[in-house]
Chains A and B, each alone.
Chain A
Amino acid sequence: MKSLQKKKIVDLPLPPEIKEVLTKVLGPNEEVYVEILGGRIRVIL
């Protein structure tokens, strides 16, 4: 089942290097939608 959650970038379950890039690009308090697809994570900007 697909679940779409709104989360802050700092709280995302992402590898640190990806989180760092997103934080730099969008800012740490920007909220994005996160979808878990099996073993994959989709971040919708």
Chain B
Amino acid sequence: MIVVRSTNIERVIWHVRSLLPQLESTPITLARRQVGNYVIGLGTLGYLYTALSSVLETLVEAGKMANDLKLRDYTVVIGPEESYITTTPLSEVIPPLPPPKEVPPLPKEDVALNTFKCPDLTPGMVKFCVDNVEIAYFLSR
């Protein structure tokens, strides 16, 4: 269960939102991924992603709803089955989340053309080479 007070809701939304791309870009190492201080085993990442997305969505919707209801001091309670807003000031329950960090950009794909032992490429031709002999044919357009 997660309990967030209205004063903290923006901060938690921002925090959770910044963790989602971090989860997506975490490198896989032998069926284990490390997210902050947590090591997540194979298969749990999808659940974690879904859970965090669901928390994020609930917090955003609750914030909107509270705004519509003109509530200023409120508490959002997110449970496994259902979530609600209450004006009772409850003490917060926020699981320790890894600190948000910059997501490194994904490495670009390396494309290496097979030149079939030829020293160069000739536009419009497919060819392969044996020593100094080039066997080539034109690509049909």
A6 to B136, CA, bound (A): 14
Interface residue? A42 (CB, 8 A): yes
Q: Is the CB of A40 within 8 A of B135?
A: no
How many A-B contacts at CB < 8 Å in the complex?
31
Interface residue? B131 (CB, 8 A): yes
Number of residues in B with C-beta < 8 Å to the partner?
A: 11
Q: Is the CB of B136 within 8 A of A18?
A: no
Interface residue? B130 (CB, 8 A): yes
Q: Is the CB of A44 within 8 A of B138?
A: yes
Q: Is the CB of A45 within 8 A of B132?
A: no
Q: Is the CB of A40 within 8 A of B133?
A: yes
Number of residues in A with C-beta < 8 Å to the partner?
A: 12
A43 contacts which chain B residues (CB < 8 A)? Answer: 133-136
Q: How far is the CB of A7 from chain B (nearest CB, A)?
A: 14
Q: Is the CB of B137 within 8 A of A15?
A: no
Which of B125, B130, B132, B137 has the largest number of chain A CB atoms within 10 A?
A: B132
A18 contacts which chain B residues (CB < 8 A)? Answer: 130, 133, 135
Q: Is the CB of A42 within 8 A of B131?
A: no
A14 contacts which chain B residues (CB < 8 A)? Answer: 133
A24 to B62, CA, bound (A): 77
Which of B131, B133, B134, B136 has the largest number of chain A CB atoms within 10 A?
A: B133
B135 contacts which chain A residues (CB < 8 A)? Answer: 18, 22, 43, 45
15 contacts between A and B (CB under 8 A): A15-B130, A15-B131, A15-B133, A37-B134, A40-B133, A41-B132, A41-B133, A42-B134, A43-B133, A43-B134, A44-B136, A44-B137, A44-B138, A45-B135, A45-B136
Contacts from B to A (Cβ < 8 Å): 125, 127, 130-138
Contacts from A to B (Cβ < 8 Å): 14-15, 18, 22, 37, 39-45
